[in-house]
């Protein structure tokens, strides 16, 4: 295995241009799994950990810009993130275990494109934007637009994630919801993972709702049909039930070694219900 360690963004982009097919290494938490299984033998690896420009969190007027190499642990500790994006903090606190949270990065998590990634539902409902850099220039891609399938993104060869921008949710939501249903309390992969934001109008009707689910389709899903349906309606047992039915049509879970499609359907609907009922757990 060849191991390259660029010191700047420019060097990194050049390195990828010179060695097409090289693998980017950020925190390495999923990378190490593949390495252990012998899947990376003979590959060239580009370690991004020396790129200081991608390690900061900057507060702007309309949102925050998070460097792609910021770790899950750093996100949890950051006062602004804690105040503005509690769903991201909750998600980061449930990734793997503390050691993984110390190593894993938000950019690496996105580039890895696991359908089960725990931060994705939160980033989806906050409507994050992914900023990339490549020798051809910079791009801003809406979060949901970056994923092409399980473990696949629309990033071009040699294109790297440099930051994630998240707009502040204004007005502040009436309710925010995150829940990971994993295989156990820690060191767990998600069977279903959900995040939701809800804005209620004065008449207790839904002004807007956003609900996203992970692990139940090839990529992260926003429950658009349910969201559209709920707009302007009161949250009665009947409307909640109808929204749950609509969610069912928007996801495509499978049977795998971790769970079953039937269970994932049922729990996805229940999570929406729990979100809409704002029931404390």
Cβ 104 to other proteins shortest distance, Å: 15
**Tokens encoding 242:** 């109808």
Which is nearer to other proteins, 51 or 243 (by Cβ)? 243
Binding site for other proteins (CB under 8 A): 33, 38, 97, 179, 181, 183-189, 191, 257-260, 262-263, 266-267, 270-271, 273-274, 279-281
* Residue with Cβ nearer other proteins (59 or 97): 97
Report in angstroms how near the CB of residue 281 gets to other proteins at its nearest. 6
Least distance in angstroms from the C-beta of 29 to other proteins:
12
The pair of three-digit structure tokens given for residue 53, joined into one six-digit string: 């420009």
Name the one residue in this structure whose structure tokens are 């903090």: 89
Angle CA(29)–CA(77)–CA(268) in degrees, nearest 5?
65
Q: Which is nearer to other proteins, 30 or 84 (CB)?
A: 30
Q: Smallest gap, in angstroms, from Cβ of residue 280 to other proteins?
A: 8
C-beta of 191: minimal distance to other proteins in Å? Answer: 8
| Shorter beta-carbon distance to other proteins: residue 17 or 187 | 187
For other proteins, the closer of residues 62 and 236 by Cβ is 236
CB of 32 to other proteins, least distance (A): 12
In the complex with other proteins, the residue whose CB is nearer, 59 or 186, is 186
Peptide bond before residue 182 is cis, with ω within 30 degrees of 0:
no
Instruction: Annotate the chain with three-state secondary structure.
Output: CEEECCCCHHHHHHHHHHCCCCEEECCCCCHHHHHHCCCCCCCEEEECCCCHHHCCEEECCCEEEEECCCEHHHHHHCHHHHHHCHHHHHHHHCCCCHHHHHHCEHHHHHHHCCCCCCCHHHHHHCCCEEEEEECCEEEEEEHHHHEEECCEECCCCCCEEEEEEEECCCCCCCEEEEEEEECCCCCCCEEEEEEEEEEECCCCEEEEEEEEEECCCCCCEECHHHHHHHCCCECCHHHHHHHHHHHHHHCCCCCCCCCCHHHHHHHHHHHHHHHHHCCCC
User: What is the closest distance, in whole angstroms, from the C-beta atom of residue 178 to other proteins in the complex?
Assistant: 13
Shorter beta-carbon distance to other proteins: residue 45 or 267: 267
């Amino acid at each position: 295995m060849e191991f390259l360690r660029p010191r700047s963004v420019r060097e990194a982009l050049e390195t990828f241009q010179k060695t097409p097919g090289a693998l980017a290494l950020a925190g390495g938490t999923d990378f190490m799994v593949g390495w252990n299984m012998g899947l990376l033998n003979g590959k060239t690896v580009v370690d991004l950990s020396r790129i200081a420009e991608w390690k900061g969190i900057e507060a702007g007027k309309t949102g925050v810009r998070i460097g792609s190499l910021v770790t899950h642990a750093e996100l949890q500790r950051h006062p602004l993130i804690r105040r503005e994006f509690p769903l991201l903090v909750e998600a980061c606190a449930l990734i793997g275990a503390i050691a993984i949270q110390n190593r894993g990065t938000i950019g690496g998590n996105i580039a890895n494109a696991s359908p089960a990634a725990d931060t994705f539902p939160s980033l989806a409902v906050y409507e994050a934007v992914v900023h990339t850099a490549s020798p051809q220039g910079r791009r801003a891609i809406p979060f949901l637009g970056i994923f092409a399938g399980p473990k696949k993104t629309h990033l071009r060869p040699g294109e790297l994630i440099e930051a994630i921008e998240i707009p502040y949710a204004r007005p502040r939501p009436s309710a925010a919801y995150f829940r990971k249903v994993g295989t156990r309390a820690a060191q767990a992969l998600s069977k279903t993972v959900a995040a939701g934001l809800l804005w209620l109008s004065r008449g207790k009707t839904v002004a807007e709702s956003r609900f996203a689910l992970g692990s139940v389709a090839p990529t992260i899903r926003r429950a658009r049909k349910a969201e559209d349906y709920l707009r302007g309606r009161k949250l009665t047992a009947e409307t909640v039930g109808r929204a749950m039915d609509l969610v069912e049509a928007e996801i495509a879970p499978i049977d795998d070694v971790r769970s079953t499609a039937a269970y994932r359907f049922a729990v996805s609907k229940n999570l929406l219900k729990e979100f809409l009922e704002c029931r404390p757990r």
